[in-house]
Chains A and B, each alone.
Chain A
Amino acid sequence: MSEFLQQVVNGLSLGSIYALIALGYTMVYGILKLINFAHGEVFMMGAYAGYYSAGWLGVNGYEAAGRGFPLLLALVVLCFAMGSMALLGVTIEALAYRPVRSAPRLTPLITAIGVSLFLQNAAMLVFSPNPRRYPAILSEVRFEVGGVIVTNIKLAIFVVAMVLMVGLYLLVNRSWTGRAMRALSMNADAARLMGIDVNATIRATFAIGSALAAAGGILFGLDQITINPLMGVLTGLKAFVAAVLGGIGNIPGALIGGLLIGLAEQLTAGYISPDYRDAITFVILILMLLVKPEGLLGVVRQEKV
């Protein structure tokens, strides 16, 4: 029983990271109808931004003393990574997506794959393909509850993911920017006619999505011990599947989808075979698309010509 609970705890913490990344996919897809393949790489770059900024702030000194950063410095690292990735997201949008926004659908998809490949391989050149051990931005504390081991990092992942998600929910539903985003996702041309600055809104979408991915990257690094330049590929895909599962364009849906994918993956690895942990995600995706293509919380939208 404690083994099962342990797998569930691990699955939920992995799932909340997926959920954070899924938000970026779901927002961009909702507005541009584009699978932003590079989003997984933004997540990876976010993890590296955290890695290097922690290094500059002297994490080694703290680590040598057997403890992590004080909370304030940890927040500085988090903010730096989120800010720099927001910038990266906006840059990618401006250079690779905006010029082909009105082209046939396939074109931005290919540029997205191109950007993703570029970031992966540039990262392998610059950071080396070897995995890096993630610095102890938070010092790890372990609790044991009825045979189940929970670390403060896993708790932090839950808390940070929930806080960011509630914040995003409020932003999208209560602010003018959020209202503009929702208008764009319903009908871009009508939104433009109503005086919405389409470019600015799309920029904001990319900035917010990328910042959330950066937060996911740092939490992932803390939780999974190492990071590497290819970590964004499968994680990004699974997060995308989480977004589809929950209903694309839907923020609570991304959370539910992320948690379900995380659980499914961990339980498959624990009770069927770890060899199929990645395959299960795609099986879920295909079943979902066949049975309920709009996702768990999605709304059916008629495709208009």
Chain B
Amino acid sequence: MSASGLDHAAPVAPPAAPPPVPPLPDPPARPRWALRALVALGIIGALAALRIALEAVLIEYAQRILMLAGINVILAVSLNLINGTTGQFSIGHAGFMAIGAYAAAFLGTHLAPAVAALLGSGALADAVTFNLALVLGALFAGLSGLCVGLPSLRLRGDYLAIVTLGFGEIIRISFNNAQFLGAATGYFGDSPAGLPPYTNLFWVLLWVVIVILITWNITFSQTGRSLAAIREDEIAAEAMATPTTRLKVLAFSLSAAGAGIAGGLFAHMQAGIRPEDFKFDKSIDMIVMIIVGGLGSVSGAALGGVFVAVSLELMRDLHEYRLVLYALLLIGIMLVRPQGILGTRELPSLLGGLWQRLAARGTAKNASSGGAER
């Protein structure tokens, strides 16, 4: 039972719940808006520069793998929110990625003329259309996450696995039968040449940063600690008046929305999508990402995402053995190190010295009390 899961109220029922409760952290010092905007602009500028540099140095093949890695990072980090942080096992996430991909592709295609009429055609209109499509795709994925989550998250954890698997399949079957989305042939917009290839390294990197920021902030907020409490002991969490079902549904919907963003990016990188792109194998890839990285660790999930993209490419010649190796990796990690390689720790906290210099005052105090749990 981790102490960090119970941040307020005295422990009530469970005999195993440890009494020591860490003091509430100081409220974070809020940077002013101007400073925040400056930092945001700085990040955007840095990413734009990074993109230009990478595109100058890397061949397109390497850029593709980088973009796939970035999309994987988004998938892993968002799946980790429900599977790792909250401890509810979803194994149908490819379905939400599919919803995001199809919604973004379809809406993007149909919004483009309207946006172009408003802003004129050009880079700006493309950027607006693309991001609007991505956000709408995420919204659709998040809403369908809500619809799936509401009935199924009342259930005990392992039933959720089956239900999400079933929903993943139902979603794929529905796209397979949706004529206006191209059915089994797939959807690629109005022209046979495919969807406009909006996705580039800049957008992928930007969305990686946005998704990581959001999940990071949730994970280390009050809500995040309630989620962790659900993972550690749902009954105890409930006894502490944590609204478990509501929080689980929230985490699940957000996680689905993240997968939706990844789907939108994927669709506009591939210039077309088909239902077969979102098979059960894809969900398994995502599970491998978060388990390799560490269940419950944001940075671990990100590393896992990169690992899967790169290993897929490196193992191209071992193709037949890929899933066998993945399966053995899953079993092996569970037997040897069930919390994943990083566990719930974060990479920055492992980077020792550098980290400590950057850490704020209150942190050292909290970190030591966190270490001395029990």
Contact = CB atoms under 8 A, between A and B. Distances in A.
Given A275-B176, A275-B177, A117 B326 contact: yes
A118 B157 CA distance: 23
Interface in A256-280: 275-276, 278-279
B152 interface: yes
A204 interface: no
Interface string B322-342: 011011111100110010000
B145 to A, nearest CB: 15
A130 to B, nearest CB: 14
B143 interface: no
A286 B321 contact: no
Interface residues of B, number: 44
Interface stretch (A43-51, A108-116, A189-197): A108-116
6 nearest A-B residue pairs (beta carbon): A282-B166, A114-B330, A118-B327, A117-B327, A114-B331, A121-B323
B162 A122 contact: no
A126 B15 CA distance: 50
Given A114-B327, A114-B334, 4 more contacts: A107-B338, A237-B165, A275-B173, A283-B170
Interface residues of A, number: 45
Contact of B151 (A117, A289, A303): A289
A285 B166 contact: yes
Nearest to B326: A117
Nearest to A116: B327
Nearest to B170: A279
B146 interface: no
Nearest to B338: A107
Interface in B1-33: 13-15
17 contacts: A35-B162, A104-B87, A106-B89, A110-B89, A110-B330, A113-B284, A114-B327, A114-B330, A114-B331, A115-B327, A121-B324, A122-B324, A275-B173, A275-B176, A283-B170, A285-B162, A286-B166
B323 A111 contact: no
Contacts of A103: 338
B158 A293 contact: no
Contacts of B89: 106, 109-110
A125 interface: yes
A65 B91 CA distance: 48
Interface string B251-292: 000000000000000000000000000001000100100010
Interface string B77-91: 000000000010101
Nearest to B157: A105
A211 interface: no
B155 A111 contact: no
Contacts of A290: 151, 154
Contacts of A293: 155
A241 interface: yes
B317 interface: no
B13 to A, nearest CB: 7
A282 B169 contact: yes
A141 to B, nearest CB: 36
A100 B335 contact: yes
B163 interface: yes
A146 B338 CA distance: 59
Contacts of B326: 117
Interface in A78-123: 96, 99-100, 103-111, 113-118, 120-122
A276 B174 CA distance: 9
A106 B87 contact: yes
Given A100-B338, A303-B235, A305-B13, A237 B166 contact: yes
B198 interface: no
A117 B330 CA distance: 9
Contacts of A107: 334, 338
B174 to A, nearest CB: 8
A289 B169 CA distance: 18
Contact of A125 (B167, B324, B335): B324
A108 B330 CA distance: 11
Interface string B304-329: 00000000000000001101101111
B75 to A, nearest CB: 17
Nearest to B233: A305
A282 B167 contact: yes
A69 interface: no
A120 B162 CA distance: 18
Interface in A119-176: 120-122, 124-125
A106 B340 CA distance: 12
- From A100, A117, A125, name the one whose CB has the most chain B CB atoms within 10 angstroms: A117
B158 A35 contact: yes
